Amino acid sequence: MNVILALIRRELGGYFKSLIGYVVIAAVLFLFGFSFVDMLGKLNGIPQDAPVTEQFYATVYFWVILLITAPMITMRAFALEKSTGTYESLMTAPVGDWQVVLAKFGGTLAFFALVWLPLLGCLFIIRHFTGDPATLDPRVTAGTFFGILLIGSLYMAMGCFASSLTRSQIIAAIFSFLLGVGLFVLSLRSAALSPSESGWGAVLDYTSVMRHLFDFSRGIIDTRQVVFYLTGTAFFLYLTQRVVESRRWK
Amino acid sequence: MIDSPMIEVHDLTKRYPGRTAVDGITFTVGRGEVVGFLGPNGAGKSTTMRILACFLPATGGTARVAGFDVYREPDEVRRRIGYMPESNPLHLDMRVREYLKFRARLKGLGWQRSRDRVDIVLQQCGLTEVHRRITGQLSKGYRQRVGLADALVHEPDLIMLDEPTIGLDPHQIRAVRALIKELGKTTTILISTHILPEVEMTCSRVLILNQGRILAADTTENLKRKLSLDGQVIAEIAAPHEALRECWRDLPEIERWDVAPADGEWFRVALTPRNGADLRPLVFAIVRDNEWSLRELTRSRHSLEDIFIHLTRQQGKDLPGQ
């Protein structure tokens, strides 16, 4: 455990010692700003019956932010260490493959969570100026953040997997972007199909990340969705561990 | 396990597609030895070290470190080694102390223990005055020392250094060598290098590698003796050419001789003794008796470099040390 904590600390530190951490945070804040202004415009017009969180998160901004930042956050995980050679000193230290994989994943997820924190500030601003506590239900907000973390963990796991395959950060980023966009496009497709149409419709519906986010942002946490993200994350982490281990295959 | 040799390698082979990097090498390194791995670039030194450090799997053969198999018990092996890879990769965005503490924690040292050990290795490697600097801004010599400190920080039984002095200036090389020598008093060390004087200066034993095979494994002194490269005498003599060529013919001490014109009436004579005898008094006596002039008389001490060139050239023939 000590080893994992030391590694996670190093991973998180790495974001703030290079430009990438600040670039990602600045880009996300910029998009948050847009999204905030957009939502204020909507709220200013007609009254809305959907919760604030839904209008905040279940928007195109969320997806732009997620799809772009996930590769930016994860591309360095393994690829950077491989290209600078520190991977060799890491893997010749007495650390297990799983420890390395979990620490890389933990580091990226912690940074991802950190990136989303400023959004909480926006919500408090709304609450402050509307003067109505009902605009922001803490349980709905918690559900939303939980959902963002779940979706984030799947995307981080996919990104770590992509990064473990190559020593080039660019290739890792492109591959992880393709994986992420692929999953997103599937959910667009499922929105077009009705679940009852065929078996495939039901499967697509089950994997629809867009629909999941709608539920989360209303404070609905469905066990099936939680299971979907946890198994998805575990699957990609398992693949990553296999890639890391493959170095020692004869 | 405590009585087993530090490194036991048997018939180790590593094949890459289309290329054999290590071709069935066998050697042993005892506890407390300082052994040099010597060979030209691409001889298989780094590959062997990477296998011993459990970074790469071997294609065939076995390797044990401190009695543990590198393939089956990599965790046990990695706990016992301090390995500095070839290019000495460091996290260039970390500060020296921070980096060493991170590495110490990674190697399983507790919080207090890692603090204490980092202080000790900072001192040992002469890094105390730069411990707050960012490694990326350090000179190459300091970075190399950080790599060394990293290899030492968890008090390993075996230290493996892959080209530890490459790219350093002479002062830095000297400092690193002194450090290695100091460490060698208490720890087993395996150094790889293609710089010959390095091995001669720091190592008690040398393994010469070429094209994935071990050409010779012995102490440097023994190698020199076996190859009888010692004792060649060079003399510059002013004498009639014919007389100079003839006078060595009947001397039993001399195995080979060669006379080449230098400048003016001077000739350069190279004499190889038959059994390592010192030919200098004899040469001087001959010059004196013939009333010739002598302006140079040296006995060459062959270095490892000559042995190395000699061995790599005659590879494939019957080799000493094997």
In 3D space, the residue among A137, A159, A142 whose CA is nearest the CA of residue A74 turns out to be A159
> Which residue of chain A has the CA closest to B87?
A85
CA atoms B134, B140, B141, B145: torsion sign: positive
How many Cα atoms sit within 13 Å of B278 on the Cβ side?
7
pLDDT digits 0-9 by tens, A34-49: 888 887 777 776 676 7
> Which residue of chain A has the CA closest to B14?
A250
Return the DSSP state at B55.
S
Q: A13: domain range?
A: 2-246
What total number of domains does chain A contain? 1
Helix, strand, coil fractions of chain B, as percent rounded to 5: 35, 30, 35
CA atoms A39, A42, A45, A47: torsion sign: negative
**Cβ <8 Å between A89 and B83:** yes
* Across A124-133, A190-199, B93-102, B212-221, least confident range: A190-199
Which residues pair with residue B190 across a beta bridge?
Answer: B35, B160
By DSSP bridging, strand B233-238 and strand B293-299 are antiparallel
- What span, in angstroms and rounded, lies between the C-alpha atoms of A80 and A69? 17
**Cβ <8 Å between B89 and A86:** yes
Kindly report whether the global pTM for this prediction surpasses the value 0.90.
no
From chain A, the residues in CB contact with B89 under 8 A are: 84-89
**Cβ <8 Å between A3 and B106:** yes
What pLDDT is attached to residue B315? 56
**Cβ <8 Å between A85 and B92:** no
Could you identify the residue written with the tokens 């667009």?
A188
Model confidence at B320, pLDDT cuts 50, 70, 90, reads: very low
From chain A, the residues in CB contact with B105 under 8 A are: 2-3, 6
- A16, A89, A248: best mutation site toward chain B, by most B Cβ within 10 Å? A89
Average confidence score pLDDT of chain A? 86
What pLDDT is attached to residue B61? 93
Average confidence score pLDDT of chain B? 86
User: Tokens for A157?
Assistant: 């796991």
- What span, in angstroms and rounded, lies between the C-alpha atoms of B287 and B60? 61
User: Tokens for B266?
Assistant: 């001077």
What pLDDT is attached to residue A21? 92
User: Tokens for B112?
Assistant: 């207090």
CB A56 within 8 A of CB A119: yes
A:B CB pairs within 8 Å: 76
Model confidence at A194, pLDDT cuts 50, 70, 90, reads: low
Mean pLDDT, range A69-87, rounded to an integer: 94
Could you identify the residue written with the tokens 């190559």?
A166
CA atoms B155, A11, A241, B148: torsion sign: negative
Query: What percent of chain A stands above pLDDT 90?
Result: 50
Helix, strand, coil fractions of chain A, as percent rounded to 5: 85, 0, 15
From chain B, the residues in CB contact with A167 under 8 A are: none
Model confidence at B113, pLDDT cuts 50, 70, 90, reads: very high
User: Tokens for B34?
Assistant: 């300082």
CB B34 within 8 A of CB B205: yes
- State yes or no: pLDDT of B259 exceeds 70: yes
Which of A 3-22 lie inside 8 A of B, CB atoms? 3, 6-7, 9-10, 13-14, 17-18
**Cβ <8 Å between B55 and A2:** no
Q: How far is CA B146 from CA A59, B108, B112, B291, in A?
A: 49, 19, 20, 62
- What span, in angstroms and rounded, lies between the C-alpha atoms of A12 and B298? 64
- Contact residues of B toward A, CB < 8 A: 50, 53-59, 71, 74-75, 78-79, 81, 83-85, 87, 89-94, 102-103, 105-108, 110, 150
From chain B, the residues in CB contact with A18 under 8 A are: 93
Query: What percent of chain B stands above pLDDT 90?
Result: 42
Model confidence at B316, pLDDT cuts 50, 70, 90, reads: very low
CA distance A180 to chain B (A): 29
* Residue A172 phi, psi (nearest 5): -60, -45
pLDDT digits 0-9 by tens, B35-93: 998 888 888 899 999 999 999 999 999 999 999 999 999 999 999 999 999 889 999 99
- What span, in angstroms and rounded, lies between the C-alpha atoms of B66 and B238? 61
By DSSP bridging, strand B81-84 and strand B205-210 are unpaired
Query: What ipTM, to 2 d.p.?
Result: 0.87
Which residues pair with residue B20 across a beta bridge?
Answer: B15
Domains of chain B: 7-226 (3.40.50.300), 233-299 (3.30.70)
Which residues pair with residue B162 across a beta bridge?
Answer: B192
User: Tokens for B202?
Assistant: 């720091």
- State yes or no: pLDDT of A223 exceeds 80: yes
Q: From the list A3, A17, A250, which residue is nearest B59 (CB)?
A: A250
- B50, B52, B55: best mutation site toward chain A, by most A Cβ within 10 Å? B55
**Cβ <8 Å between A85 and B50:** no
CB-based contact (8 Å) between A1 and chain B? no
CB A43 within 8 A of CB A157: no
**Cβ <8 Å between A95 and B94:** no
What pLDDT is attached to residue B228? 55
* Residue B201 phi, psi (nearest 5): -85, -35
- State yes or no: pLDDT of B153 exceeds 80: yes
